Amino acid sequence: MDADPLKRWQVLKLRWLRRLPGEPRKKIKRLMQRGDEFMQLGQPELGEYCYQLSRELAQEAGTIHLLKKLEQRVENTLS
């Protein structure tokens, strides 16, 4: 088997969360929180994926302050 089915299911849920209608800022913050939760649970792959999705949304929406916040979180997790 290539991938853990649980992780695949979580990735699908995260993609779905990104595509839900709603305010982009709320979705970005929600994805960042999920990324933090995954990092704390010891699942850095899913955490980084959440950060990646939130970064893409922030770039599309043009929310520079959320991009800076996200970069700080990524730097803190790497160090």
Query: Could you give the 3-state DSSP secondary structure of residue 22?
Result: coil
Q: For 44-64, write each residue's pLDDT tens digit.
A: 899 999 999 999 999 998 888
Q: What share of the chain has pLDDT > 70, as a percent?
A: 92
Per-residue pLDDT at 11: 87
- Residue 5, SS3? helix
Burial 66-77 (b: 16+ CB within 10 A, else e): bbebbeebbeee
Residue 1: pLDDT band (50, 70, 90) is very low
pLDDT (tens digit, 9 = 90+) per residue, 28-44?
A: 999 999 999 999 999 88
Please tell me the pTM assigned to this model: 0.82
The burial class, CB within 10 Å (0-12 / 13-18 / 19+), for 65 is exposed
The tokens of 25 are what? 């800022």
